[in-house]
Amino acid sequence: MQLDGVLFFPVTPFGADGELAEDVLAKHVARGVAEGAGGVFAACGTGEFNALGIDEYARVVRIAVESAAGRVPVLSGAGGSLPFARDCARRAAEAGADGLLLLPPYLVSAPADGLVRYVREVAASTDLPIIVYQRANARFTAAAAAALTEIPNVAGFKDGLGDIDAMQRIVLAVREATDRDFTFFNGLPTAEMTVPAYRGIGVSLYSSAVFCFLPEVALAFHKAVTAGDDDLVRRLLAGFYRPLVELRDLVPGYAVSLVKAGVALRGLDVGRVRPPLVDAAPEHVARLEKLIATGLDIVG
C-alpha cells in the first residue's frame, strides 16, 4: 500500500429520500481518481462514517473500490465500539479495501495503554494494514505510539490534534522503535493550513477535504508546497484556505457540511448531511461560492 500525493476523502452522497446515492458516489470517486488523487479514503470523517449503518458502510467501500478500479489504494474508516470496528474491518476486507483508517473508540476517554489495546484487538481481527487516527478522545503518548509498531499490520499514524511538539515526540519515538515502513499523516481539518509546519517535523502526507470540490486548487497547493514555491503557497493560504477555515469554524460540523456544499456547487448533487450535522446556511454557501472563484483565480 503506497500512498503519495493528495489524499482524497470523498463525501457520502444521499438522495432526496435520505438513502445512499450509489451512482452519485461512484461518479464522485471516479472523478477524484481521474483528477489525480493519490489515494481514496472512503467512509471516513468527511464521508460521515458516524452516520452510516454497517450495510451502508460496506456498500460505500465496495463502490469506492470498484470506482477506483485499482488505480490508487482505497482505504476505509473503522472505529466506534470494539465489535463495530471489527465488523467494519471484516466488511472492508470483503469489499476489497486495501487498508483501514482506525478512528477513535466511541465517546469514552481512556488512558494511552487502553488505546493501544483497542488498536491491538481490532488489528488482530484483520490482515488489512491499519492507519491509527489520533484525534478527539484518542490521544497517544510517544511511548504508546511506539508500542503500535509492535502490531505487525499497523502501518501508519494520522494526527488530528495539531500539537506539533507532541507529534514531533511521536515521530522520533516511532522512528527509534522500528526501521520498518511507517507512514505519518497530517489529519487536521483543512490540513493545508498546517502543511508547512508538519513538513518541518517530517510529516509530508496530508488529507485534503478541499480536493473533494476543488481539485484544481488542492493539486496546485500540493505542487507548490513540494516544489518550494513559497509565494504561491502563501497566496493560497492567505487568499483561499484561511478564509475557508474562518467560514468552516462558524458552525460545528461545517468541516463536512461545507465540503458537501462545495461538491454541489461544482455540479454534483450529493444531498444533505445526516443529523446531528446541519447543512450549510444559504449565506454561507454564497460565501463558499465566492471563495471557490477566488481559489481558481489564484491558481490561474
Active site residues: 133, 158
CB 37 within 8 A of CB 6: yes
CB 235 within 8 A of CB 217: no
Q: Which long-range contacts (CB under 8 A, 24 or more apart) does 116-124 make?
A: 116/140, 116/144, 116/147, 116/148, 118/82, 118/85, 119/148, 119/151, 119/154, 120/151, 121/82, 121/86, 122/78, 122/82, 122/85, 122/86, 122/89, 123/151, 123/152, 123/153, 123/154
- Distances, alpha carbon 277 to alpha carbons 107, 258, 273, in Å: 17, 11, 6
How far apart CA 296 and CA 216 sit, in angstroms, is 7
Query: Residue 186 forms beta bridges with which residues?
Result: 159, 206
Report the amino acid identity of residue 3.
L
Helix spans in the chain (H):
22-35, 54-68, 82-95, 112-123, 142-148, 164-177, 195-199, 215-227, 230-236, 242-248, 254-265, 282-299
Q: Residue 209: CA atoms inside 13 Å, Cβ hemisphere, count?
A: 27
Tell me if residue 279 falls in helix, strand or coil.
Answer: coil
Tell me if residue 11 falls in helix, strand or coil.
Answer: coil
